[in-house]
Structure 1
């Protein structure tokens, strides 16, 4: 192509932005609804939120909840899946680390406490879903979301006992010790406010202190 045949450059013309694909727009709306439900449950300190409020926060028509999820229950189930599966994927990376069972457990416990700091509604949402969902969904929650975390913790305990680092104990009870400790500070704003003089929720500094104290307390129950 010769210079004469080339179109002259026009510095004043800017490229036309590519319009998002319909699929991308749908996915963005779906994620916006999940993000909105999560934000409202954190801000209002309850899992009892309405579809109109969710849609308004997401900036979409509330009919989109039925379109994407079938119902509000379907939306909450999708949110629970998203929240927990992200943490399950982190377990895969945890077991690839070349560390002792003691350090692996510390990392694991810190991760659980971080999860409840980021998702303080998690236990309440699980309880609502188990209470109100059909048996198939309840089985999914138990087998696909909760058991992988409990089994991972039991696996670390077994390795620690075999390595002579941990005392033998019941992994199921230790799991409840862990979840109760992780959930307590973040799911009870009234008590937190009363104890800490009006603090509405745990800030990063309080969370960091609570995480380290809780991890060390739990570890003392494990270590020989």
Structure 2
């Protein structure tokens, strides 16, 4: 693929990600994507065949990007608590960048179970294995209540992701503006860490 073509494809994908995952416009048309990218609609079909095929590509790439980000953080040669602080910071920041991504992943998981299973089958590495030894040490030294790595991660993921999944409900219940909810999510980083470890979250550089 020529450099110009690769750049055009990248622009189209970035604009589509913004519309789908950042603004939540899942029903965005091919023409709207083309207009946002400043290209002819025919180029969308040239690079991606259809809107549905583009969505499939974007979803796979977004899931892979998030998986690799988590794997990278949990693989760092760092103390356990600093590692978890980095995870919390990265996931909430990513969720704030693409606030509708998790909703879309869940809806696609329900709608297309076979596709989800195929994706998981391609990625056999488990995040729980990356924290197993350090978590066991925390528990052995009495710094955490006994919990399996699987339960620990499910709790951590839920604490980070639920505020995005339930954003419309939580904003309505608590009467928050968009700006106020943004600040609420930033505060969540410290609250989540404090909930797990009962101490202030260390600075993440």
- Shorter-normalised TM-score: what interval? 0.7 to 0.9
| CA offset digits 1:29-52 (Å, max 9, x no partner) | 222222122212355435332222
Deviation at 1:153, TM superposition (A): 4.0
- Residue by residue, what CA displacement relative to the aligned partner does 1:1-54 show, whole Å, maximum 9, x if unpaired? xxxxxxxxxxxxxxxxxxxxx712221222222212221235543533222222
Q: Report how far residue 117 of structure 1 moved.
A: 1.6
**Counterparts of 1:134 and 1:62 in 2: how far apart (Å)?**
31
The TM-score normalised by the length of structure 2 is 0.75
The answer for the alignment partner of 2:161 in structure 1 is 183
Question: Is the helix fraction higher in 1 or 2?
Answer: 2
Relative to structure 1, the CA distance from residue 73 to residue 193 in structure 2 (aligned partners, 3 Å threshold; closer, same or farther) is same
What's the counterpart of residue 99 of structure 1?
A: 78
Shift of 1:55: 1.9
Distance 1:140 1:72, change over 3 A: farther
Say whether the 8 Å CA contact 1:110–1:215 is kept in structure 2. no
Distance in 1 between residues matched to 2:28 and 2:80, nearest whole Å:
41
1:171 CA drift (Å): 3.3
- Give the drift of 1:116: 1.6
Are 1:70 and 2:49 matched, yes or no? yes
Q: Shift in Å at residue 213 of structure 1?
A: 0.7
Q: 1:96 deviation in Å? A: 5.3
TM-score, length basis structure 1: 0.70
Structure 2: unaligned runs, 5 residues or longer: 199-205
Greater RCO (CA < 8 Å, at least 6 residues apart): 2
Indicate which of 159, 169, 177 corresponds to 1:199: 177
CA contact (8 A) 2:22 2:101 kept: no
Structure 2 partner of 1:8: none
Residue aligning to 1:125: 104
1:170 corresponds to which residue?
Answer: 148
Gaps of at least 5 residues in structure 1 are 1-21
Bigger Rg, structure 1 or 2: 1
- Aligned pairs for 1:122-161 (under 5 A) are 122-133=101-112, 135=114, 137-144=115-122, 148=125, 151-161=126-136
Shift >6 Å, 4+ stretches: none
Which residue pairs with 1:54 in the alignment?
A: 33
Query: Residue 113 in 1 paired to residue 92 in 2?
Result: yes
CA separation of 1:198 and 1:109: change in aligned 2, threshold 3 A: closer
Structure 1: how far apart are the matches of 2:39 and 2:152?
A: 43
Tell me how far apart the structure 2 counterparts of residues 72 and 119 of structure 1 sit (CA, whole Å): 19
Following superposition, the deviation at residue 209 of structure 1 comes to: 0.9
